[in-house]
Amino acid sequence: MDNHRNTQRDSELSLDEYSTPNDDDVPYSDDETDDELESPLPHTEPDQNRINREAEDGQETPKKKSDLTWEVKANDKHFYEDPRFQKKKFFCIKSSKYADNSIKTSKYNVITFLPRNLIEQFQRAANFYFLVLLILQCIPQISTLSWYTTLVPLLLVLGITAIKDLADDITRHTSDNEINNRKCEILQDGRFKQSKWKHINVGDVIRLKKDDDIPADLLLLSSTEPNSLCYVETAALDGETNLKFKMSLDVTHKNLQHEEGLERFDALLVCEEPNNRLDKITGTMYWGSASYAVDMDKVLLRGCTVRNTDVCHGLVIYAGTDTKIMRNGGKTRFKRTKIDVLMNYLVYMIFVVLILVSSGLAIGNAFWEQQMRNISWYLYDGQDWSPNYRGFLTFWGYIIILNTMVPISLYVSVEVIRLGQSYFINWDMLMYYDKNDTAANARTTTLNEQLGQIQYIFSDKTGTLTQNIMVFKKCAINGQIYGEARNSSGKEVDKIEAADLSWNQYADNKLTFHDHYLINCVKSEKDPDIKEFFKLLALCHTVMAEQKDGELVYQAASPDEEALVTAARNLGYVFLKRTQNSITISEMGAIRTYETLAMLDFNSDRKRMSVILRDPDGNLKLYCKGADTIIYARLHEASKSKDVTQKSLDVFAAETLRTLCLCYKDLGEQQFSKWFQKYQDASVSTVDRDAALSTVYEEIETDLLLLGATAIEDKLQDGVPETISKLAEANIKIWVLTGDKKETAENIGFSCQLLTEDMSLCYGEDINQELQVKQENRRNHIGVSAQANPNMNQSTLPEGKRALIITGTWLNEILYEKKKKKKKKLLKIRRHKTKEELDEEKRKEEALKEQRQKDFVDLACECSAVVCCRVTPKQKAMVVSLVKKYKKAVTLSIGDGANDVNMIKTADIGVGISGQEGMQAVMSSDYSFAQFRFLQRLLLVHGRWSYIRMCKFLQYFFYKNFSFTLVHFWYSFFNGFSAQTVYESWFITLYNVLYTSLPVLLVGLLDQDVSDKLSLHVPKLYLPGQKDKLFNYVRFFESLIHGILTSLVIFFVPYGAFLQTMGQDGEAPSDYQSFAVTAASALVITANFQIALDTSYWTFVNAFSVLGSIALYFGVMFDIHSAGIHVIFPSQFYFTGAAPNALRQPYLWLTIILTVGMCLLPVIAVRFFLKTVAPTESEKIQKNRKQYEKEIKTPKPRPSVLRRGVSQRRSTYAFSHQPGYADLITTGRSIRRKTAPRRVGIAAAEFAAPDGRQ
């Protein structure tokens, strides 16, 4: 047994012995196969393994074909008509496997709308049920109600729903048409002709111009830039506004610059099938007799925008639904609220009760017919049916009569309330963002009450929590911190004034600095360290510069770099231009050109970049900037200010600023010459060039001298910390899911106060260890309960508040995703396995994986905050689905980019931020607005109100219909169970439509227990929704019991009053019609007064609706009981004179008053007792409303994020997540030569730029 366990453990943990996830790596692509993930193992596969594997592979699957099966032929439309590119669509009908470029999100067209919509609506059990009832009511033998009592409400429901569906689909059609009809230029007959996006097909060559949106996934063929570079903005994909560059193949760059060459272009591109991998594509282009490798650096993705490139040409690889951005959208899921699900169960339960009650009454009728028919000879109807057959007919009669327990008007009312609540969200001016004229938008009308039940929020970072704007805030030079509000003499001041930078002709007003003392020091040029500090910022970077409309404009691979260079520019050290081997800056007005000898670019392992320059005086210097932990390890022993700079870094970290350390080193000619030779050798190495370069870099980046540190603020959106704090008080857990690197995500976590210094931070390795311990304990204590062995639940994680920070690679490692399986199989000698053994092994692996996932979710949910970084779009959706699956929690996802779409669709509620990052997230969301801070109002105000209103509406609606319907049940004991109705048929028809509909609708639309300000001020009011306290099975049965008791009073009090009654005229008003009028009047008054008791927020409209509904009842009743309408429709209006005759009797008015009092007074007494003894939280706040309102007027100051005395310093370095433009600069590929001919229509600029102009 122990050997078996050890073998199993070795199999499970084998991968960990050879590999540890790298936190800086983005995980392998979402659709990657195991074969693609295979990498050489550090040992040789045993021969027996190989033999067994080949035997198994030969039995199980045929030999794997190449994954490159997608063929694209340029400028050849007939190529795609080949039968091998056809796929079966329906029976013998085939269509091309290549999608066109049109997007269709609509459901209907003119022909299919009516039949398809009706089919969809009758798939709802309630609608189908009422259709069956309508058919039954058309059968005279069983119907005791007219057919119109069901037809009118049914048509109303179907009509309102159809109109809403039509309006939604028209919106989708409009959106589709706007996208599909965008203009583009397609190569046709040797010329580029204007066309529409929907006419683009795979294999077309298209031309794009500056600022054009890319319509499909394209292979970049050429551009007007050097080496056919093309700069794209990927904000719609990942929310990042910094530019990325793409570069075409050299052969297409040289030959496909003009229309003639593009027309002759007939290459065949073979690549992988359409997938959702945004970071990878593998393919080969065959042209002429040569083949060329194609990778992601040569592909332009749909959803991106061309920037700083005048013209580029591309070959369409994937179009329409096959594009990567569309593949990342995930499946559109049908979302339903918890109340919807519960209501369906309740409706099914009521159906069962209805059938049981009808069956019991039918049996009673059969028994009565058998026992009483001969005695009651005067009831003979001329039909000689048996008692059992009469009981069968009576069963269907009671099904019809009692169907109002589930009234069809319930669904109409729910739709109306949800629609109204959606408009209230749209009209909320406190969720309107005037800077870009964006209002909140409820894109769905079916999920509003779910907003009041959210337990977990999953948020993107870039563009959602942050503005993706970096701002230079502070710096430390030679141990002195600059950036506080100080005057020119260095004294701190209370009045904050921005420093005057008008003395600098290059200042661009993008820097707001409040330290006048630093400005004086810079202008005086007396401190050499300050001069060297800002000179380093102006020289050590990979930023490009260009002149645009007479203004100097920067383009950077990272917003961090742009912020630093911009800060140096505004403080007098201005980067002007660069060439392949020089960089020119202005030093306090003096133009100086430095020779660039080497650029040592940033990557995620180095976490630093360096540049080696020769200044105009001939001196050699190395300038370096990077992460504090990396720089400090490379400083010279004699470097000054190390300790004081470290204290400055502590201060910056406590203020959640992103930091970089700056240092330099003087080089000798001989030292540099020896190193440069090694550098050149490594640059041309054919074996592991990156490792060789890193080794050479390490040699020169030693004995550095520290200058200081910079502190950049990754600017949060307004109100983010306050919003997160409010949501946390409402017991809502927030998880941040981002593609950013771990340090950046952690820093933003502290900045927005999601993470705090009193939390213990746990990382992927900690969680992995904890899960392995749990797994080991579970294996070693099989059959032993946790109570019997407390050691099973012992944790290796720290006690107290915990926060989890985990990367995408650790997620895959922990959750046993894909790539672990195949590697571990090769680590032990295997014997040939039967199919049954393989199935059993697979089943065990799935069970182990599921248990591992559950353990991970349990651990993560115990943490106060969770940050998942370096995760792919698919992993974001996976995390959301795991929490939904194992915690049964209501989830909300919020994001702004296309990489958030899958997550948004997976969550119960999806929210899109409509900002500068495109509309992909918004188009896939349920709700959208412009700023993250509006989320607290959406949930704590609109969500909470919607939930309370819907719960109150449903509880009352069930009550009033049980009160109405069950009167028939009591009456059946006095009419021989004959399915005779208590009320007239028109009262039954209009009860839910006119007499009791408006007051409850207004409560569902307008009611509020406390104001919006108090809802925000006291977030704990949100808790009842999370716990389903306001509507559940218990509340439903309360409504049922209340309805039963009310129906008893409504029937038996008038019945008792009518037993021995004498009117003023000496006649007894004890006829059936007078009884029906009395019971109906008491019911209408009771139902309307009951909703008045339930109303918390009174307006004139509410009061008018209650009194107006009662008045409307009496007005309509007197009309339909009049002789005039009976003369016109004698068979439909047969209660002639019943109301005037009955209601002229004071005795009956007293009966009505007594009935209403007996129904309502116990309710008032019980509520008074409960409010006194056990008031709810909202009732307590209502009682002390003035005190809370006073607190709102004097808000508490926001706690500072600066925590004094924090001993543990976090490394908060800020830098690009990917290499910058160093390779382009040093090779000259981005630099346009001055001798290059000027193209027509393209003006030359003064300085080098990302678009290559000088």
Within 10 angstroms of residue 1066's Cβ, the number of other Cβ atoms is 6
Local structure of residue 864 (DSSP, 8 states): S
Query: What DSSP string runs through 920-951?
Result: HHHHT-SEEES-TTHHHHIIIIIIHHHHHHHH
The torsion angle over the Cα atoms of residues 235, 238, 239 and 240, rounded to 10 degrees, is -70
Instruction: Tell me if residue 244 falls in helix, strand or coil.
Output: strand
For tokens 């040939």, the residue is: 832
- The amino acid present at 540, given as its one-letter code, is C
Q: Residue 380 is encoded by which pair of tokens?
A: 């003979």
Measure the CA–CA gap between 1248 and 1179, rounded to whole angstroms: 68
Taking only Cα atoms into account, the Rg of the chain, rounded to an integer number of angstroms, comes to: 38
Local structure of residue 433 (DSSP, 8 states): B
Q: Residue 105 is encoded by which pair of tokens?
A: 């999100």
Please write down the HEC assignment for all residues of 487-532: CCCCCECCCCCCCCCCCCCCCCCCCCCCEHHHHHHHHHCCCHHHHH
Residues in CB range of 703: below 8 A, 6 or more apart: 634, 635, 636, 665
Measure the CA–CA gap between 64 and 54, rounded to whole angstroms: 13
Measure the CA–CA gap between 994 and 865, rounded to whole angstroms: 51
Within 10 angstroms of residue 484's Cβ, the number of other Cβ atoms is 14
- End-to-end, the C-alpha distance of the chain in Å comes to 75
Helix (H) or strand (E) holding 677: helix 669-683
What separation in angstroms does the CA of 767 have from each of 495, 810, 872?
A: 48, 9, 20
For tokens 């005779």, the residue is: 980
Q: Residue 29 is encoded by which pair of tokens?
A: 């692509």
Q: Residue 696 is encoded by which pair of tokens?
A: 């050479």
Active site residues: 460
Could you tell me how many helices (H) and strands (E) the chain has, helices first? 44, 35
Q: Residue 75 is encoded by which pair of tokens?
A: 């400028």
Is residue 1206 within 8 Å of residue 651, measured between CB atoms?
Answer: no
Q: Which residue, 1227, 1224, 1248, 1225, is CA-closest to 1236?
A: 1248
Residues in CB range of 356: below 8 A, 6 or more apart: none
Q: Residue 1032 is encoded by which pair of tokens?
A: 């559940």
Measure the CA–CA gap between 1200 and 1053, rounded to whole angstroms: 67
Please write down the HEC assignment for all residues of 1072-1113: HHHHHHHHHHHHHHHHHHHHHHHCCCCCHHHHHHHHHHHHHH
Helix (H) or strand (E) holding 712: strand 705-716
Query: What DSSP string runs through 745-797?
Result: HHHHHHHTTSS-TTSEEEEHHHHHHHHHHHHHHHHHTTT--TTT-GGGG--SS
What separation in angstroms does the CA of 1202 have from each of 716, 726, 753, 799, 1039?
A: 16, 20, 11, 24, 53
Is residue 1109 within 8 Å of residue 999, measured between CB atoms?
Answer: yes
Alpha helices per DSSP H over 888-1031 = 901-906, 920-923, 934-937, 944-972, 985-990, 997-1006, 1012-1017, 1023-1026
